[in-house]
Amino acid sequence: MLQRIGRCRVDRAKVAALAEEQLDWRFKALPAAAHGLTARQFLATEPVLAQFPTPLLTLDQGALAHNLRTMADWCAAAGVRLAPHGKTTMAPALWQAQLDAGAWGITLANLAQLRVARAFGVRRLLLANALLDPAGLRWAAAELAADPGFEFTCWADSPAAVGQMGAALTGAGRPIDVLVELGGPGGRTGARDQEAALATARAIAATPGLRLAGVGGYEGALAHDAGPDGLAVVEAYLERLVALHARIAADRLYDGTGPVLLSAGGSAYFDQVARVLGAVPDTVTVLRSGAYLIHDSGFYQGISPLARGGGPAPLRTAMHGWARVASRPEPGLALLDGGKRDFPYDEGLPTVQRTREGRALTGTVTALNDQHAFLRDSGAELGEVVRLGLSHPCTAFDKWTLIPVLDDADAAGPRVVDLVRTFF
C-alpha cells in the first residue's frame, strides 16, 4: 500500500553538484571575472552586486527564508499538504529547500519538467495536467518500475483521454495514479460538469494501468481578483469539487489502496482551498501554490492570502530587477537597458523603486521593448542602476539560467551569497 504521506526526498548530492558547474559566457547574469571558475569558487571571492552587469535579476536571501518558513507554518496550521508548483522556478536547489521545509512533493506542468525533476531525484511528483503523449506515459511507467520509492500522479478530464492513456500503458507494471480534473466555464482544462467528471472517474477505475486517486482542479483560471465576486466564484467551484468527490465515493470507485487526494490551490486562493477541501473527511488536501516562495511586487502582492490579511506574517518579495539608464534622449524620458527578454510583463510592468546605491526614485515604466524599458518622469541619471519591482515570478525565472542571491537587497552594497541554477 502506498502511503504517499511521508517526507519527499531529492538527490541532495546532485543538487550540491551544481556548485561545481563551471561558469562562462552561457550565463548572462555573471561578470567576466566569474568565467572559468566554478560557482563555489566564484562565491568564495565574496562578490558584490556592483560587480554584476545589467540587466540583472536577483533574489533576496532573507525574503526567501521568510517566505519558506511562513508558508510551511501556514500549511501546518491549516492541516494541508503542499506540493509547490516547480514550474515557477525550475530550480532544483529551491525545490530542495521547499522539500526540506516539509513540502509533500513537487508539482509540474509538462513532461520536460518532469524529466528535470527526476534527473535530480525528486521522489514524489504531481503533474497538474493530463499526460497523453504515449512516449511520455511509457517513460513515467518505466520510472515507476525502476524506482519503488517514486510516486507519480497526473490528471484526466475525459473518458477519451483515459482511453488513450490506457492504450499507451498496456502491459505496464505499477499503475499511474490519476486525479479526475474538474474545470469550469471559461477555465482551462477539466471536465465541464459533474456527469462528465463522474464518467471520467469510472473510466479511470476500469482501466488497467491507472488508479483513481482523487479529484483535482485549478480555481485560479476562474477568478482574477480578491473581490467579493471573485471569491464567490472560487467558493462555488471548490464546492463542486467536494460534491464530485462525494459522488465518486458513493459509487465506491476508490480502491482503498492509498489516500484519496483533493488538490487545488494556486497562489491566490489557497486559504479558501484549505478551508473547503480541508474539511472533507478521510482525504488529504494538497495545495499546489508555487509563487509564494518568490512572491512579487505586483499581482501576487495584491491577491495572495498571505499579503491581503490571511496570516500574521505577510510574504515578502524575493526578486528584483536591475537595469541601467542607457540613454536620456529627451526631457522626461530615460531608457533602461532591460526589457522583455529580461523581466516579466504579463501581469504588470516593472515598477521603479530606488537606485542601486539606495537613492529613492520616482517615475513610471510605461513600456518594454525586447531590450529596453521606457522610464518616464524619473530623476534617474545617465549611467545609474535602477532597482525595479517585478510582477509574476513564473515569467521572471524563465529568462535566467543563473540567478544571483543577495544577502540583503535593501542594503547599500549587497553581497552575492549564492547562485541559483534554473532548467527551463
In a domain, 243, yes or no: yes
Residues 254 and 340 in one domain: no
Residues 50 and 169 in one domain: no
What stretch of H or E contains 264? Answer: strand 261-264
Residues 391 and 270 in one domain: no
Exposure string for 118-129, b = 16+ CB within 10 A, e = fewer: bebbbbbbbbbb
In a domain, 53, yes or no: yes
Could you give the count of Cα atoms lying within 13 Å of 176 in the half-sphere of its Cβ?
33
Q: Domain end: 246, 269, 288, which one?
A: 288
| Residues making up the chain, counted from first to last | 424
The domain tally of the chain equals 2
Tell me the percentage of the chain whose pLDDT exceeds 90.
Answer: 93
Mean pLDDT of the chain: 95
In a domain, 97, yes or no: no
CA angle 400, 60, 356 (to 5 degrees): 85
Report the CATH number that the domain containing residue 23 is assigned in CATH.
2.40.37.20
In a domain, 149, yes or no: yes
Question: What is the residue range of 136's domain?
Answer: 123-288
For residue 245, the model assigns a pLDDT of 98
Q: Do residues 219 and 256 lie in contact, with contact meaning Cβ atoms separated by under 8 Å?
A: no
Q: What does the block give as the cell for 392?
A: 509574476
pTM of the model: 0.96
Task: Write out pLDDT tens, residues 275-304.
Answer: 999 999 999 999 999 999 999 999 999 999
Task: Write out pLDDT tens, residues 74-126.
Answer: 999 999 999 999 999 999 999 999 999 999 999 999 999 999 999 999 999 99
Task: Write out pLDDT tens, residues 134-144.
Answer: 999 999 999 99
Residues 189 and 150 in one domain: yes
Q: Do residues 393 and 412 lie in contact, with contact meaning Cβ atoms separated by under 8 Å?
A: no
Residues 138 and 217 in one domain: yes
Residues 270 and 319 in one domain: no
Q: Is 368 helix (H, G, I), strand (E, B) or coil?
A: strand
Task: Write out pLDDT tens, residues 360-376.
Answer: 999 999 999 999 999 99
Residues 275 and 386 in one domain: no
| DSSP tag of 345 | -
For residue 2, the model assigns a pLDDT of 34
Exposure string for 301-333, b = 16+ CB within 10 A, e = fewer: bebbbbbeebbeebbbbbbbbbbbbbebeeeee
Task: Write out pLDDT tens, residues 218-237.
Answer: 999 999 888 999 999 999 99
Residues 135 and 280 in one domain: yes
Q: Do residues 215 and 248 lie in contact, with contact meaning Cβ atoms separated by under 8 Å?
A: yes
How many other β-carbons are positioned within 10 Å of the β-carbon of residue 404?
Answer: 25
In a domain, 69, yes or no: no
How many other β-carbons are positioned within 10 Å of the β-carbon of residue 102?
Answer: 16
**Is the model's pLDDT at 145 over the cut of 70?**
yes
